[in-house]
Chain A
Amino acid sequence: MEYRRSKILGRIDWLTVLMYLALVIFGFVNIYSSAFREDHPGILDFSQRYGKQFYWIVAAFILAVMGFMINTRFYYFFAYPLYFLSLLSLLAVLVVGATIHGSRSWIPVGAFHIQPAEFAKVATSLALAKYLSYYNRSLDQFKTLLNTSLMIIAPAFLILLQPDMGSTLVYVAFVLVLFREGLPASVLIVGFLFALLFFMTLVLDKTIVIIGLFVLTAVIHLFLEKKVNFTLKGIAMILLTGILFWAASELTGKNFSVYTIIFLSLIVAGIVFIPFFYRYKLKKSAILYAVLLGSVFFAFSVNYVFNNILEEHQRTRINIVLGIESDPYGSGYNVNQSKIAIGSGGFSGKGFLHGTQTKFNFVPEQSTDFIFCTVGEEWGFVGTFLVIAFYLLFLLRILMLAERQRSSFNRIYGYSVFSLLSFHVLVNIGMTIGLFPVIGIPLPFFSYGGSSLWAFTILLFIFLRMDADRMEIAF
């Protein structure tokens, strides 16, 4: 036993471990600075954030050792039970959870609060790896794609109910895993186009989007069928039904909205087109028209969801990133102050504990979601550049480790680790410098907070164990 353990430790990827330690320690240094109070300088002072973080780091190290000491086989066999357990915990938090900052995301355990959403990422990664690693599973099968999507959406949906938009969006990261595992390009392209349409709808007026879609469809149709006559007739038909509906609404005094008229006329015109599609065997035209209808419907839905379902602060945050809205004292306050803090650091920074933006509490959530500001302000461009470079090396190292796995279970899990960490790092830093909406997710290993530190540590060290076992165990 003693011999085996030393062998396992010998096989651990020490480079990753060292990088992990460096990130945790530099993170602590910045939390210390952002929460620093002269009357409580001791790093073990539990009344201060850095004091708490210190204990959480110690606990994280213990968890790292535990996570690493458990055999890969355990993770493989218990992947599904762990996944269901985490779904249960996400359900439980909706019932017994404590509400902090408007989200019911925390389960009180003694004096602490545990955030089950953080741990659900680990369980989802394991379950996804196990499911996709079965022989014969391929992402171009509809059933596999559906099940995989459900596995990812289930925890995301439960987290959305808390509501915690940030932690929900993290599950988008799994798209990267699926891509690596062979998600068909067509699915990605369609997804990308819809995302594009989504943003267009938010940025532009929906009438413009709809006219744009209409013109685009006409042009594509012209190229596909190469019959000017058909295209013109189609356009004429749609316009005619549109005019008829408009006239009807005016005459009856019902006063339909423009959008209702557009939508109704597209549907009626479509019905009129169906016999023509059959008669002239216009399969491409039929599909194109279906896509047009779908897109218009999607644009309407996005508008509806945006205006009626999203909450005010989420709307404004999206608007700020899209450049529609500027409100330096309201919702844009965080981002604006965050940029000032980072920008004020200049090239070489103001020095450790000398940040002023930080000290005056200009930047809210300084030690959690906006910890990168402290780096920017106190360590300057040198600091931010090094931190990003270091994170990049760390992520690429994990990517490399994932690629060197011999079993798909290990590789998929490794990719999940990579994707989740990348998403967190990129989105978190992106939001502090105004490249991404403020969705409030932590910077891995850096941000203040026990739950996220522990979850990321466990996530990483499970993978390091898999990596250490890669020559012996394969699934």
Chain B
Amino acid sequence: MKEFDQFAGRKYIVGGLVILLAFIYVVKLFVIQVVDESYQLSASNNVLRYVPQYPARGLIYDRNHKLVVSNEAAYDLMVIPSQVASFDTAEFCRILDVPVEEVRNGIRKAAGYSRLKASVLVKQLSARTYAQLSEKMFKFPGFYVQPRTIRHYNTPVAAHMLGYVGEVTERIIKRDPYYKMGDYIGISGIEKSYEKQLRGEKGVKIYLVDVHNRIKGSYKNGKYDTAAVVGKNLIACFDKDLQQYGEYLMHNKVGSIVAIEPKTGEVLCEVSSPGYDPALLIGRNRSKYFPALTQDTLKPLFNRAIMASYPPGSTFKVVNALIGLQEGVLFPSSTYSCAPGYYARGVYVGCHIHHTPLNLEGAIQNSCNAYFCHVFRNILDNPRYPSVYQSFDAWKHYLEQFGFGHKLGVDLPNELNGFLPDTSYYDRYYHKNGWSSLTLISMAIGQGELGLTPLQMANLAATVANRGYYYTPHVVKEIEGSASIDKKYHIKHKVGIDSVNFAIVVDGMDLVVNGAPGTGSTARIAHIDGIRVCGKTGTAQNPHGKDHSIFMAFAPRDNPEIAVSVYVENGGFGSTYAAPIASLMIEKYLRGKITRKWLEERMRNTDLIHGVQEK
């Protein structure tokens, strides 16, 4: 215990220090709160209003720089509940042309969200209403108009590919703080996958607003404002005219057309039928039409081109032929007879009547089932592999390289994988070693477990057109102001099959369309004078109803410019609808006009939905 306290005097220094600092603080506070005007927003209870500056969304053009999606101005009426004073409700509602109840409920709802932040009360006023309202705005404290832009479509085309924009949901707001209540975001299609580029960057303007709801000026001369950055424009890959023509042909049919430029992988058109008018999903329309579109049993919102998985049918014979040639179990000269049909140990695969025996070219030309049953079994029972497991895996490996069984990686959301079974699938279905090449025989002719999206099918056509490689299909060609689109669209994917083998198959596909009459060509109807179309028909058995009509093709035979796949659900034989439609699409794209008006008429007027068929 210390008795003598020699430093007692230091208490004055300590106490003095604290008093001095307190004094300095009071002076500083006096400066901030009373002297310095720049901090003064409060004299008449001024309020800062943060008005987001919405940039115009990027425009979308087609491959020929024709404008497809643009913007138009819209005005949202905003309300800040805490600033609302009593006002003439009747006049207010008369100008807006909405029931009083709706306004009351709207304000109540907005107050429930936040009394101090702005909420949208009425969306997208017309320019006229806006003009009337702005004259009287001073009478309605707590309300203001927020200009923004909504989508505008010059032609109702390519709704699925373009997609639509809609208001953000709370889940999105939580995930990405960029979005605020009432903001718009791309919900499907290009609008979704290129959201970041299209939306630009919001800015903010800060205003001083007095109690009478009048903007007194910008806060600190706009020192803290940020400018909005306009969204980037996109050049899409599709050809507006071709797309429109495809939709025209698919009228009253269910199915899809996908066309790809083989040498680039650019998607020239992507039709999913039935479609819808994209204008139905803009702004206020959306709440009106969206439920009807979702409830439609034909699912018009469903993008069949990338979201539907179909059995490829006989078009798949082309793939088996290529694999057989590459694996060395099939030669161009190999001939097999057709009974008609294929018989083996109690298994029977039927065929139609044609010349027999046929070589490979002829088998493709005639689409002989028996021939390809032999080919498929030779692939799976290849003595090079110890068991069917290894040969199956080798076969499957080729298919994967063709892009089957997984997403191709198109720049659209919700692409489907398709389906490609693996050995464990069959082990589960039968049992271990309980299956053989014969068990899987239906896959020889593209039936059975296989599932391909129309996009994958079109990509197959493009791969054959290129004689052995493809570029990942994509729908956007160019982002304005950006160096390039995603680099993955410039990578050449080789499928692991030599181009000489493709040459043989292409010969067969040439005969399918251009074979002499009476030689059994399955799709002579697809022939166009002066354009060498190569194609392959397919008829997929459909357990739910009539067969699907399928056709894949590319043209011209040398230096192909377009590869196309057509699916017509319940259309019967591939040659009935799919082949003519594909042929018309090719003619439209390469020539820009149609000479075979009669065929166009027949396709256009066929109604497969309402049970009315032409002729």
List residues of A whose CB falls within 8 A of some B CB: 38-39, 133, 135, 137, 176, 179-182, 328-329, 339-340, 342-347, 350, 354, 356, 359-360, 376, 380-381, 384-385, 388-389, 391-392, 395-396, 399, 403, 407-409, 415, 418, 422, 426, 429-430, 433, 435, 474-475
Contact = CB atoms under 8 A, between A and B. Distances in A.
Contacts of B34: 346-347, 381
A384 B6 CA distance: 38
B33 A376 contact: yes
B612 interface: no
A381 B36 CA distance: 12
A136 to B, nearest CB: 8
A329 to B, nearest CB: 7
A347 B33 contact: yes
Nearest to A409: B1
Given A426-B18, A426-B25, 15 more contacts: A180-B14, A342-B29, A342-B39, A346-B33, A350-B42, A360-B117, A376-B32, A381-B30, A389-B26, A399-B11, A399-B18, A408-B1, A433-B28, A435-B24, A474-B1
B29 A376 contact: yes
Interface string B27-51: 0111011101011111101011000
A407 B2 CA distance: 7
B7 interface: yes
Contact of A343 (B13, B36, B117): B36
Contact of B28 (A389, A415, A435): A435
B19 interface: yes
A381 B33 contact: yes
Nearest to B40: A346
A179 B33 contact: no
Contact of A38 (B14, B25, B45, B115): B115
B483 interface: no
B15 A399 contact: yes
Contacts of B11: 180, 399, 403
B8 to A, nearest CB: 8
B116 interface: yes
Given A133-B2, A344-B39, A399-B14, A359 B116 contact: yes
A343 B19 contact: no
B32 A343 contact: yes
Given A344-B40, A408-B2, A329 B224 contact: yes
Q: Is the interface of A mostly helix, strand, loop or mixed?
A: helix
Contacts of B47: 356
A343 B112 CA distance: 30
Contact of A346 (B10, B43, B117, B224): B43
Contact of B15 (A39, A137, A396, A475): A396
B39 A384 contact: no
B116 A345 contact: no
Contacts of A376: 29, 32-33
B6 A182 contact: yes
A140 to B, nearest CB: 11
A430 B33 contact: no
Contact of B29 (A385, A395, A396, A415): A385
30 contacts: A137-B2, A342-B29, A342-B39, A344-B39, A346-B34, A356-B116, A360-B117, A376-B33, A381-B34, A384-B26, A385-B26, A388-B26, A389-B22, A391-B22, A392-B18, A392-B22, A395-B18, A396-B15, A399-B15, A399-B18, A408-B1, A409-B1, A415-B14, A426-B18, A426-B21, A426-B25, A433-B25, A433-B28, A433-B29, A433-B32
Please provide the 10 A-B residue pairs with the shortest distance between their CB atoms, ordered closest to farther. A343-B39, A381-B33, A182-B7, A343-B32, A392-B22, A344-B42, A408-B2, A344-B41, A384-B29, A346-B42
Given A343-B32, A396-B15, A399-B14, A350 B25 contact: no
Contacts of B2: 133, 135, 137, 408
A112 to B, nearest CB: 26
A148 to B, nearest CB: 15
A435 B25 contact: yes
Contacts of B14: 176, 179-180, 399, 415, 418
Nearest to B43: A346
A339 B6 contact: no
Interface string B203-228: 00000000000000000000010000
A475 B33 contact: no
Nearest to A426: B21
Given A343-B32, A346-B42, A408-B1, A179 B10 contact: yes
Contacts of B5: 408
B36 to A, nearest CB: 6
Nearest to A182: B7
Contact of B25 (A137, A347, A418, A430): A430
Contact of B40 (A133, A343, A388, A429): A343
A350 B7 CA distance: 47
A339 B32 contact: yes
A39 to B, nearest CB: 8
A431 B117 CA distance: 28
Nearest to B9: A180
A403 B5 CA distance: 11
Tell me which of B5, B38, B47 has the highest count of chain A C-beta atoms within 10 A of its own C-beta. B5
